[in-house]
Structure 1
């Protein structure tokens, strides 16, 4: 049986408290898994994992499920929309119930910030964060790092611009923590209503013109529902001021790559033609999500 210490070490709740060495180890193991020609390797045979999604995310869930099945694990998928959570059962009770069934690890995505950390204190199986509120999304940042490393050979010394709704972005937070540890220069660009004050001491805010001079230009998804909250006047105005238009993309340095965590609002934060232009690595990011999550799930269930 796993000890409390080993459970904590095998969990991945975020990158803020993960060491540089651990991050590098996951990236290196992902490279190993990407190089394997076999579709399925029974590294996790006879292991059971449950994907617990209290917040919808088809792309992330499918990526985790593909990673788990490629490792030979038995996979159960949990949807809050068809569960007792709709009837009022707490997230804690739901997770404890699934733990009681004998699963070896849980992947969890939820909206409330702080709940995942509380769960990890009382659950005796490793937990992997698939996105919690606007706190962190560690596997997304890891696949982003992996993509940058493949494009440039090393992350140290790169200038990375993260542009958009930084205030509400868990992707931005995980990337800021990890990129700083790996020696990159991180800069942020956002409308005043989308600035995160908590990140100001960890990354400088720059103008859109300055942000586009970076080695990596990472566009964040505009959460269109926040239009009703008055964070931006219209999608057209947002695109004009902060969108990666064809004209702006044409002015990027020849070596600059374009990234986006997806899903993409085409012709809002990034023009349709730019999504699949030669310097865009958006779909490569999605591809890299599988080996990254294979490394993370192997770490969770085997150490």
Structure 2
């Protein structure tokens, strides 16, 4: 019987051995990752003289990024090095994939070079799953974003950030604004928030940027940003992914900002202690005003910092299992 991605990422004992998706992942698994990450936050402390632990000493981590990345690729590299792993960043543009070598042939050659963990970002939905199905049992894969499908470590670091500031998922309202239909981040966040018991998730944006199945997922839909922001505890804005849509699908630049941008005035409709999040990269004055992105309620840079600890947790768990 063919396993679903959520089943494939677990071993016979129900332990996480790959991280492919947050859909179907249990509350216990998610909390275990968040709790483990909390222990690693101290390792990343700038006051700590040595920011390393030996948990992955002797292991080889290969970063395979077939799409551009700053935060995800760099924090995975830092996380692996802080776990004392050896890290190889494959330059896709100069690798044999540019000559027509298939993804799985590339993987086979890297396994022969004694790879232990693959961190894979790919434009094709399901690429990380395809790799996981192909690997021998002792090699692990972490999905760093596949198409418009999932970005599980981003979802986990977002959960860590929310828990850090709000403690209890069962008592918060979360609003996600913008290009949700193309956002693998939004999908991972919605699955995780639902699993962790968040009572109200709101999707705010034009109809063309909202998935058709949000109601089935228990998400409330708002086509008016002011209405959607009223009384929320967490506000997450998303980048408009022009590379994944047809020209003219939504207003651009100033026109989009006027209707859907997060401004100081609009943020005042949320709770006074609401936090502002963004997975990056940001387009200032398009989906978010600079004075909001740099303001006291923004925790955007803390998301990046917490991302190192979360990715350390994921790598240590999948290898440990």
Alignment TM-score, normalising by the size of structure 1: 0.95
Aligned to 2:74: 62
Aligned to 2:118: 106
C-alpha displacement of 1:5? 4.2
Deviations 1:183-241 (A, max 9, x none): 11211112111111133311121231232121101001112446752221321111011
Q: Within the alignment, does 1:31 sit opposite 2:38 as a pair? A: yes
Q: Which moved more, 1:103-112 or 1:154-163?
A: 154-163
* Residue 208 of structure 1, aligned match among 210, 216, 225: 225
Deviations 1:34-85 (A, max 9, x none): 1234401111111111111111112210000000000100111112111111
SS at match of 2:311: helix
Q: Within the alignment, does 1:149 sit opposite 2:163 as a pair? A: yes
CA distance in 1, matches of 2:170, 2:270: 21
Cα RMSD (Å) of the superposition? 1.8
Q: Is the 8 A contact 2:128 2:142 kept in 1?
A: no
Unpaired runs of at least 5, structure 2: 1-9
Q: Within the alignment, does 1:22 sit opposite 2:34 as a pair? A: no
SS at match of 2:175: strand
Unpaired runs of at least 5, structure 1: none
SS at match of 2:90: strand
CA distance in 2, matches of 1:176, 1:147: 15
Higher helix share: 1
CA distance in 1, matches of 2:153, 2:121: 12
Rate the CA distance shift 1:9–1:227 in 2: closer, same or farther, 3 A: closer
Q: How does 1:1-303 map to 2 (within 5 A)?
A: 5=12, 9-36=16-43, 37=48, 38-124=50-136, 125-184=139-198, 185-202=200-217, 203-206=219-222, 207-213=224-230, 214-225=232-243, 229-303=247-321
Q: Is the 8 A contact 2:58 2:85 kept in 1?
A: yes
CA distance in 2, matches of 1:54, 1:76: 14
SS at match of 2:23: coil
